[in-house]
Amino acid sequence: MSVGNIPGWEKRSAEHQKQYKQFLQRADKNKTLKQLPGFHEEAFDKIDCLQCGNCCKNYSPRFKTTDIKRISKHLKMKEGDFIETYLRLDSDGDYVAKSAPCPFLGKDNYCSIYEERPGDCARYPYTNEDVFLKRPQLTQKNSTVCPIAHYVLEKLIASK
Ligand code: SF4
Ligand code: SF4
């Protein structure tokens, strides 16, 4: 079943991976950074994350110290208990969720800590920042998981 209100996007994204790679390698940085905010807005207007949830189902954000402080306070938990209950250290030494899907994702795809969610969640899929070009492999991977990343890449390539 297709997700995110763009039928067939997964197949199209799989077919266009080579084009995405070439675009990300050769992109005009200044031009692309100027275009990103508009395409980012347009993508989030068109695509409903609540019909998708792919990121929250498959990947964990980093829970940085400030995230842990804010979220544990919101949940009225001690930081140590919050870490023990929900988090583990990954190979980079970052705290991430112990389990996937994320323990804060509801069946309706709502995030139960949305207002307090980690900074990484608010930034995903990095379509409105220079990480989009600085980490091309991450952007390419995101284009296979996230219809918004796919949409923005398609728009950038079409406007070349
Ligand atoms: S950010 Fe992307 S992967 Fe995550 S829910 Fe929204 S459309 Fe889906
Ligand atoms: S904290 Fe919320 S937005 Fe972030 S991965 Fe978990 S459910 Fe998704």
Q: Are 2 and 8 in contact (CB under 8 A)?
A: yes
Q: What are the sequence ranges of the domains in the chain?
A: 3-55+124-158, 60-123
The Cα-based distances of 142 to 65, 67, 75, 107 in angstroms read 25, 23, 30, 22
120 C-alpha vs ligand 1 centroid, how far in Å? 13
pLDDT for the residue numbered 4: 60
Q: Are 133 and 32 in contact (CB under 8 A)?
A: yes
Q: Which residues of the chain have pLDDT under 70?
A: 1-4
pLDDT for the residue numbered 18: 98
Specify the residue with its C-alpha closest to ligand 2, atom 2.
111
Q: H helices then E strands: how many in the chain?
A: 10, 2
pLDDT for the residue numbered 63: 98
For residues 111, 44, 49 and 61, what is the CA-based torsion angle, rounded to 10 degrees? -50
83 C-alpha vs ligand 2 centroid, how far in Å? 15
Signed CA dihedral, 158, 14, 90, 99: sign only: positive
Cβ of 102 less than 6 Å from ligand 2: yes
Residues in contact with ligand 1 by the CB-under-6-Å rule are: 4, 47, 49, 52-55, 124-125, 145-148
Query: CA 27, CA 30: separation in Å to the nearest integer?
Result: 9
pLDDT for the residue numbered 3: 58
